[in-house]
Homo-oligomer: A and B are copies of this chain.
Amino acid sequence: LGRVSRVGSGVTKFKVGDLAAVGCMVDSCRTCSCCTQGLEQFCTTPNGCIFTYNGIDKHGTAPFTYGGYSKQIVVDEAFTLKVPTNLDPARAAPLLCAGITTYSPLRKWGATKGKKVGIVGLGGLGHMGVKFSHAFGAHTVLFTTSESKVADGKRLGADDVIISKNTDAMGKHAGSFDLIVDTVSADHDLNAYLSLLKVDGSLVLVGVPPKPQPVAAFSLIMPRRNLAGSLIGGIAETQEMLDFCGTRNVACDIELIPMNKINDAYERMLKSDVKYRFVIDMSTLA
């Protein structure tokens, strides 16, 4: 996220000085069935979707894409997002990852007023899941293993917080959820969350547990339920998310660090000691 410093002659969306953002993608084939549907992240052309980090550099200027740990980046305007000027740029930056990762499934699976929506885990993704679900008007329930996160969950917008290790508390909500977005990237029991869904309810994974998780057929069959996955969002949906955040003044809770603290931040992240995203102040890059 930063200010536009130069624009090419064909650029129409941006002028020098505009606040602009680049997310997880810098290009895609733009012609396949996914790209034309606005799902560039699932571009079906081999090597078509070029991720910002470790992607294949289409222009051959480097062996692969080096991402955003730099003072400047050259990107096609089609993969560049406009950032609402009323948002704090530091708090807007993680919207391009944690924001769109939770916004997209909540929108697609219909988190709206009258729906009961669960968010599993209160980390970088989960805290945005709670904020968006609440902002969409859904009855929002946070699942966490930590008593220490109950107050923060409520502050961020949860109507209720369930300690997921408490099987009695979980059992009381059996068959009552329309949607649960699961942000946890550790091994955990998916059947326990599936059992909380109504008929035609969905459990959507946005976290990636290290191992394949066992799923019982009857967790899905009786009643009819869905287990799905979701990955960031397309460019148009990411712009929609940023515009929504501008209008509703939604942004990430962050800790801003200078570049020379990045190793400390990495150690703290491994201990889950971050509320809820570290953002690097790029003006501190030597």
Contacts and interface: CB of A to CB of B under 8 A. Distances in A.
A33 to B, nearest CB: 8
A220 interface: yes
A213 interface: yes
A222 B205 CA distance: 11
8 contacts: A205-B217, A208-B218, A212-B217, A212-B219, A220-B227, A222-B231, A224-B228, A227-B228
Given A44-B199, A227-B227, 20 more contacts: A34-B223, A37-B199, A39-B224, A44-B175, A190-B215, A202-B226, A206-B221, A208-B217, A212-B215, A212-B219, A213-B214, A213-B215, A217-B229, A218-B229, A221-B229, A222-B231, A223-B231, A225-B228, A226-B227, A227-B228
Interface of A: 34, 37, 39, 41-42, 44, 175, 190-191, 199, 202, 205-209, 211-231
A219 B190 CA distance: 15
Contacts of A221: 205-206, 208, 229-231
A220 B212 contact: no
Contacts of A42: 199, 222-224
Ranked 6 nearest A-B pairs via Cβ: A220-B229, A221-B229, A212-B214, A42-B223, A212-B216, A208-B217
Contacts of A223: 34, 39, 41-42, 231
Contacts of A230: 221, 224
B231 A224 contact: yes
Contacts of A41: 223
A255 to B, nearest CB: 27
Given A39-B199, A42-B199, A227 B206 contact: no
Nearest to A199: B42
